[in-house]
Amino acid sequence: MKNMWISAVILCLFAVLAPVQRSLAQAPMQNIEGNVNAIMSKLNTALTLTDIQKPKISTGITTFLNQRALILPPANSNPKAYDTKLNSMHNGFYRKLKSILTEDQYTSFLQLKPTENDATNVLSQLFY
């Protein structure tokens, strides 16, 4: 009887904590428009984007973040599939940026990559 109660309590804890953990892991992606604006602000300062480049870069970032948000749910259940999809998305996103930015701007962009995935650095969303 005692084991049954302990099992029931543990099951309830997992049922309550699992959705909380998933929502915390996805929290940075919740506000895509705000993230795009913050990323654009950093990129504009660091790369001195032209008026022609700004909307193209903004659209590319928005598309990338929206696609990334769609593949986040299976990240925990199937990390290999997630990594494969994310790698493919990164390649396409970087190709798009390379076609918009000058060679010097693109090199500077790559140097903006944080050393690790840091939730406090909005640019991490473009690299990790």
The answer to whether residues 108 and 67 belong to one domain is yes
The answer to whether residues 67 and 117 belong to one domain is yes
The answer to whether residues 15 and 69 belong to one domain is no
Task: Report phi then psi at 67, rounded to 5.
Answer: -65, -40
8 Å CB contact between 17 and 54: no
The answer to whether residues 18 and 50 belong to one domain is no
Structure tokens at 104: 């010097």
Given this model, what pLDDT does residue 24 score?
40
The amino acid occupying position 66 is N
The amino acid occupying position 110 is L
The answer to whether residues 23 and 72 belong to one domain is no
The answer to whether residues 50 and 106 belong to one domain is yes
Given this model, what pLDDT does residue 77 score?
86
The Cα–Cα gap between 112 and 121 comes to 11
Structure tokens at 40: 């654009």
Task: Residue 51: give the domain boundaries.
Answer: 31-127
CA angle, corner 108, sides to 58 and 72, nearest 5?
Answer: 50
pTM: 0.72
Given this model, what pLDDT does residue 72 score?
86
The answer to whether residues 58 and 103 belong to one domain is yes
Given this model, what pLDDT does residue 22 score?
42
pLDDT of the chain, 128 residues: tens digit per residue: 555 444 444 554 445 444 444 444 444 457 899 999 999 999 999 999 999 999 999 999 999 999 999 998 878 888 999 999 999 999 999 999 999 999 999 999 999 999 999 999 999 999 99
When divided into structural domains, the chain yields a total of 2
